[in-house]
Structure 1
Amino acid sequence: MEKLTIENYRELQPWIEAAGYEDCNANIVTMLMWQEPYPFYFEVYDHFALAYFKIKESGQIYWYMPFCEGSYRKEAIEAMLAYSREHGIPPRLSSVSRDWRDWLQDHYHGKILFHREWDGKDYIYDRRQQETLSGKKMQKRRNHYNAFLKQYGDRYEFHRLSPADFDDVLTFLKEWQDDHEDIFGIREEEAGIRFLMDHFEELGLEGGVITIDGKLEAFSIVSALTDHMLDIHVEKANRNIRGLYVAILKQYLETADPRYTLLNREDDMGLPALAKAKHDMRPIRIPLKYTARFEDWEIRPPREEEQTALRTLWLQSFADETPETADFYFTHLYDPADCRIITTKDTLIAMCMIPRWQMSVGGHVQTIRFLEGVAVAEGFRGCGYLHLLMRHLDQEFAQESMMLQAYDWDLYVPFGYAITHVGKRTVLSVPPKAADAGELIPAQAEDCAQLYTAFMQRFDGWRIRDVHYYTDFWLPYQKVCGAQSVQYVKDGQVLGYASVTEEAKTVTISEIIYADASTLQEMLGLLAQEGKTLCVISDADAPIEGSHQDIPLLMMKHPPQMSEHRWISECI
């Protein structure tokens, strides 16, 4: 591999142009600008060019996506892997695009892992929008620009950046740095800016300058990334002058070649203030980038020794889980035969549980898989592992109906799931008062099972529960979750039960089963507390007065034939 320099960059440039990546790291100018902390090395082959960069501080090496046409991707990756083996370079890539991620996943399935580069995303903008500041989305930026014109309209001048400005640029840059001492990489950026100024014309760079009362207060350095996209490498302005950042970009774009329709303003380096500023400019897209490493993984049931890792991932993934509820799940419900994980030899990437449920469908018992505990480890989220897991389940359980409850219902629509069961959430500001009410006592498993089975006969597609369900799961689980399980008794008869959670200002009923409408009103009257809002989750037909909204309760894939009158109640 040959180190990329100003003397040899033209050898690599045609391959970069042929690849056409809309990534700031695929810009020869970016590579050269940051060559001190991140030197690039490359080699040109017959059908492609390979390049990697080194993080000088740590010595770590990462390959970049090969520069080639699509038909030569496989050849290029194989050459990269061969070079890695021969020279002891880790077989890993950085700044991988979504398109390359999908291609690598398809062609090296089970052989490559992906991580999200959380700080590596580029911000892409519509050039015309940033130039004209027209439209509702640009209102805030338009206000800043108008404020700038109002205060400095007769005092400022704009002109295109040229070598004659470089001394003033360096003077301004020193002042800007003194005002931003805490920014990561500030000294490395200065070295890069000096390099770009030394080779300004040779690299075909351009940019803009704004002076106020003859003093340089803002400048930019820009290059072409593709034949339709500009790359804003540097943009500095006196942050004490309102609207100046808006002005330097707008005025430069008014002079730029009209064939460039998009802007790449590069990444935010993980800096919150910079990320906010880039978001406030209303990007039209923020392409994700990934790190990839060639390492074997598989989807399989977990082994006994992996249960601790499963519990950890479970707790990290579900906000409403506690160590107590997780312990209950893995003690009472977990079965490794009904679990699938994506894992390497030492890293748990994703997991899901797929226990069997017995359901009443059309009056008949039917076994259906319930998908729960779907979780992806944080470093691997957004990398396609949920898709891989769902695709695997489709293949392994192709003949079985699947169902799930979700935190994000829309997430599962692309996988063929649709909402089949709904209920309602009702908030009662003035709960009913029953003059002739019975009493609430601790719930008993046998009574709950009988009430539930009788109540569900009016619906279709419901989970079958027996006494063991209430004894072994429902009643102890409510307790672990901090809920109280009560049943309603009147004139010696058990007429209903409920799961109740009390908080400082709210009483929430997550499940309520009742013999009839009057029973429901009497139960609500007893469960209500003075000064607290009563929130009830129930079947959609429950006659409860208050502010209510329909809520999804269950999604299914390949659902069995069911009547339209269906409901399910589960505290998962």
Structure 2
Amino acid sequence: MEGFRPLERHDKQRINALLIHAPWMKTYTSSELVFENLYAWRQAESIEIAWSEDHALLRCVNNNQAVYMPPVAASKSVFVKAVKALLSHDPQARIVGLTKPMKTMLDKLDVVLLADDRLAEYIYRAKDMIALRGSLYHRKRNQFNQFAKTYAYRFESYRIEDKPAVADLLDRYRHHGGNDDDHQAVLDALDQLDGLDMCADLLWVDHVVVALSIIAKSIFRHGVVMFEKADIDYSGSYTAVARLAADRHFADIRYITRQEDLGVPALRRAKQSFYPLRKEMKYVCFHDPVIKQMHALYLDAFDDPLPYVDHLFLYETTRDGMVIIEKDGNVVSGQHVFMKTLVFMNKTWDCPFVVGTATDKAHRRQGHMRALMRQTITSCRDKALPLLALYPETIDVYHAMGFVPYVFEHTPQIHWPTVAVRLEQTVDASWLAALYAQAVEGRQGHMKRDENWYVRKMQAMTQLDLSYDLIYDGKTCLGYVLHGHGEIEEWLPLREVLPVVEGLDFSRHLLPGAGKGKSGQMIRITDAALFFKQCRFDQGLKHDLRIRFIDDLLATSQTLHIIIQNGCASVEPCDMFDLTVNMADLAKVVFWPDASHPLKMLFKIDSLVSYDKY
């Protein structure tokens, strides 16, 4: 095989000559292997190609990570051979953009194959995009008609002298919060129109470009909307440019592909608003026996749907965050550790969070859960992380490991007045983060959430068919609810009222709060010395303490001389002690408002809250 080199225009004929004969490409409606799309992104994503006698490999840089695209081959045997050779040569290789027929060819290999919904593409009937007929397209039809009535527009092919006007549109698009990751690719595509099966069109209002469309016609007889930009100050401009481009270029083809939403909630909603015929799911392939076995363990232990589990293993879990026990080279038990941020005692704490603990059926009741937790706690101590949290399925199991509840769950109080409300679906992560900040304001402790947290959460919850709705009483927002299939997953109230709306029963949902109730999130202190060193105490506190801390799970102890003054603690090992405390009791002293203990004078926390379950 030749070495990798930058993709060149002359590669088109050779690539297409192989792909046009590949059986799995007969129904191909995606964009990754459409040469025009590859060439447009060749600089922005550093696309390179390496040729062999009967196939080619393509690689690129995506999110600062080198990944491979599906091999270019004409037969199944060559395709599979190319994948096996690639994974053998580069054990860390990830192959992205695999369609279902490609995945099927790899099912028998010892590889991990995960569905990647972020890269799934939207497939539409061309005639629907052009005509906008029927009740489904009533809103889009009205948007187009209103645009046509409001603006004296022109829809014209791009010319080189239009480039400054396009640059101005891209600047306005970015100013309005649009993602500009494809900025360079758009400009590159405009420079490469000649000789490629691409067309670019501009939507003008007066002397201003208000929308841009760049499309390609593939050798597989489908259309690809490669880039589409519009100025949202011109109402209906997105609908107008989509319809006009489809009418001009796709009247003679059956299907149109609009590319992936990358998991961006607003972009996903926009693509769904044109009612796709289907989504073309994409798959990722790589070789990692541990991840493959952990994936199987999770599916066996939990009833989460496969799309959610695949998303979890692609975008949430990490190999470094997996704690495992192996027997004879096989993973028999494991758990995942995510990093969260806990705010309490006037500071933020990095707080590892355990999820997805599972053991193979043949190895259960053999102490593996305790062994996993010992590994996790030891790792936390090595990394100077004094706290560890989780949301338990069985409280007693984790209480025996030194965890205590620090959040308790209650149904809404019976004195809360009922209010008839309306729900309004949202994909605005910044608004959800602002509501959360309002809900936890004044609390002495809470798990931190920001806009990026909600973006990631929405991406994951989509795989469970759950969505966020704002709760309104008239024009007043009462919080939000995350729900689906008639069940409430999370309710964040801003006022003590009980919403009433058809299809959801808020009265049965458990809310986190202080005091006794059903145990919610649990927490453990991993290392007493680390914990006291990182605490921020009241400035007026002055104490000189000698304490032995017992960790029953680890079968260890620490005898510490702790001097508290000026808001901090100095901690040194010592031999003598006046008090013995086990780790569960220490956690109760810190996190329980009504704990009765000599050390309670150090900790005055009575309003912790956490909505996190995973």
TM-score (norm 1): 0.50
Counterpart-to-counterpart distance in 1, 2:7 and 2:333: 48
Q: Give the match for residue 18 of structure 2.
A: 15
Q: Give the match for residue 80 of structure 2.
A: 77
Q: Give the match for residue 128 of structure 2.
A: 129
8 Å Cα contact 1:96/1:291 also seen in 2? yes
8 Å Cα contact 2:86/2:93 also seen in 1? no
Counterpart-to-counterpart distance in 2, 1:233 and 1:8: 20
The structural deviation recorded for 1:263 is 1.1
Q: What is the correspondence of 1:101-116 to structure 2 with a 5 Å cutoff? A: 101-105=103-107, 107-108=108-109, 111-116=110-115
Q: Give the match for residue 67 of structure 2.
A: 62
Q: Give the match for residue 403 of structure 2.
A: none
CA separation of 1:210 and 1:82: change in aligned 2, threshold 3 A: closer
8 Å Cα contact 1:16/1:67 also seen in 2? yes
Q: Give the match for residue 96 of structure 2.
A: 94
Q: Give the match for residue 35 of structure 2.
A: 28
CA separation of 1:137 and 1:66: change in aligned 2, threshold 3 A: same
Q: What is the correspondence of 1:222-301 to structure 2 with a 5 Å cutoff? A: 222-296=215-289, 297=292
Segment of structure 1 superposing worse, 38-47 or 262-271: 38-47
The structural deviation recorded for 1:169 is 2.1
The structural deviation recorded for 1:291 is 1.1
Q: Deviations over 1:365-413 (max 9, x none)?
A: xxxxxxxxxxxxx99x98xxxxxxxxxxxxxxxxxxxxxxxx99xxxxx
The structural deviation recorded for 1:103 is 2.4
Counterpart-to-counterpart distance in 2, 1:164 and 1:143: 33
8 Å Cα contact 1:81/1:91 also seen in 2? no
The CA RMSD over aligned residues, in Å, is 3.8
Q: Give the match for residue 206 of structure 1.
A: 199
The structural deviation recorded for 1:330 is 9.8
Equivalent in 59, 76, 85 of residue 52 of structure 1: 59
The structural deviation recorded for 1:29 is 2.0
CA separation of 1:36 and 1:136: change in aligned 2, threshold 3 A: same
The structural deviation recorded for 1:249 is 1.8
CA separation of 1:183 and 1:120: change in aligned 2, threshold 3 A: same
CA separation of 1:174 and 1:18: change in aligned 2, threshold 3 A: farther
- Asked whether 1:189 is paired with 2:189, we answer no
Counterpart-to-counterpart distance in 2, 1:194 and 1:480: 57
Counterpart-to-counterpart distance in 1, 2:88 and 2:153: 58
Q: Deviations over 1:534-560 (max 9, x none)?
A: xxxxxxxxxxxxxxxxxxxxxxxxxxx
8 Å Cα contact 2:213/2:227 also seen in 1? yes
8 Å Cα contact 2:216/2:226 also seen in 1? yes
SS of the equivalent of 2:154 reads strand
Q: Give the match for residue 446 of structure 1.
A: none
CA separation of 1:329 and 1:84: change in aligned 2, threshold 3 A: closer
Q: Give the match for residue 535 of structure 1.
A: none
SS of the equivalent of 1:139 reads helix
CA separation of 1:54 and 1:169: change in aligned 2, threshold 3 A: closer
8 Å Cα contact 1:15/1:49 also seen in 2? no
Q: Give the match for residue 45 of structure 2.
A: 38
8 Å Cα contact 2:55/2:71 also seen in 1? yes
CA separation of 1:243 and 1:323: change in aligned 2, threshold 3 A: closer
The structural deviation recorded for 1:308 is 6.0
The structural deviation recorded for 1:221 is 0.9
Q: Give the match for residue 477 of structure 2.
A: none
Q: Deviations over 1:30-52 (max 9, x none)?
A: 22222234222223344433322
SS of the equivalent of 1:67 reads coil
CA separation of 1:22 and 1:324: change in aligned 2, threshold 3 A: closer
Equivalent AA in structure 1 for residue 356 of structure 2: L
Equivalent in 326, 329, 337 of residue 394 of structure 2: 326
CA separation of 1:238 and 1:481: change in aligned 2, threshold 3 A: closer
Counterpart-to-counterpart distance in 2, 1:201 and 1:253: 20
SS of the equivalent of 2:195 reads coil
Counterpart-to-counterpart distance in 2, 1:331 and 1:170: 61
Q: Give the match for residue 166 of structure 1.
A: 163
Q: Give the match for residue 217 of structure 1.
A: 210
- Asked whether 1:313 is paired with 2:356, we answer yes
8 Å Cα contact 1:94/1:292 also seen in 2? yes
CA separation of 1:312 and 1:175: change in aligned 2, threshold 3 A: closer
Counterpart-to-counterpart distance in 2, 1:198 and 1:29: 12
8 Å Cα contact 2:211/2:229 also seen in 1? yes
**5+ residue gaps, structure 2:** 301-324, 337-353, 359-389, 401-458, 464-483, 486-504, 506-516, 521-614
Equivalent in 128, 153, 156 of residue 153 of structure 2: 156
8 Å Cα contact 1:228/1:259 also seen in 2? no
The structural deviation recorded for 1:215 is 2.9
Counterpart-to-counterpart distance in 2, 1:132 and 1:294: 46
CA separation of 1:82 and 1:251: change in aligned 2, threshold 3 A: closer
8 Å Cα contact 1:159/1:209 also seen in 2? yes
Counterpart-to-counterpart distance in 2, 1:226 and 1:189: 24
The structural deviation recorded for 1:278 is 0.8
The structural deviation recorded for 1:323 is 5.1
Equivalent AA in structure 1 for residue 156 of structure 2: H
Counterpart-to-counterpart distance in 2, 1:308 and 1:256: 53
The structural deviation recorded for 1:150 is 2.2
The structural deviation recorded for 1:285 is 0.8
Q: Deviations over 1:409-440 (max 9, x none)?
A: xxxxxxxxxxxxxxxxxx9xxxxxxxxxxxxx
Counterpart-to-counterpart distance in 1, 2:277 and 2:101: 18
Q: Deviations over 1:440-466 (max 9, x none)?
A: xxxxxxxxxxxxxxxxxxxxxxxxxxx
SS of the equivalent of 1:216 reads strand
Q: Deviations over 1:169-199 (max 9, x none)?
A: 233323333x23x444x1x522212211221
Counterpart-to-counterpart distance in 2, 1:199 and 1:124: 25
CA separation of 1:40 and 1:13: change in aligned 2, threshold 3 A: farther
Identity %: 17
Counterpart-to-counterpart distance in 2, 1:28 and 1:89: 27
Counterpart-to-counterpart distance in 2, 1:190 and 1:331: 53
SS of the equivalent of 1:242 reads coil
CA separation of 1:323 and 1:266: change in aligned 2, threshold 3 A: closer
Q: What is the correspondence of 1:518-533 to structure 2 with a 5 Å cutoff? A: none
CA separation of 1:306 and 1:323: change in aligned 2, threshold 3 A: farther
Counterpart-to-counterpart distance in 1, 2:518 and 2:236: 56
8 Å Cα contact 1:218/1:238 also seen in 2? yes
Q: Deviations over 1:81-136 (max 9, x none)?
A: 335544x463431112122222211x31xx11122323211111111111111011
8 Å Cα contact 1:220/1:235 also seen in 2? yes
8 Å Cα contact 1:61/1:90 also seen in 2? no
**5+ residue gaps, structure 1:** 316-321, 333-377, 383-406, 409-426, 428-478, 483-572
The structural deviation recorded for 1:206 is 1.1
Q: Give the match for residue 303 of structure 2.
A: none
SS of the equivalent of 1:288 reads strand
Equivalent AA in structure 2 for residue 44 of structure 1: W
Counterpart-to-counterpart distance in 2, 1:97 and 1:275: 19
8 Å Cα contact 1:34/1:192 also seen in 2? yes
Figure out how many residues of one structure are paired with residues of the other and give that number.
Answer: 326
Counterpart-to-counterpart distance in 2, 1:307 and 1:326: 17
Counterpart-to-counterpart distance in 1, 2:77 and 2:154: 52
The structural deviation recorded for 1:160 is 3.0
The structural deviation recorded for 1:309 is 2.8
8 Å Cα contact 1:39/1:54 also seen in 2? yes
CA separation of 1:208 and 1:51: change in aligned 2, threshold 3 A: same
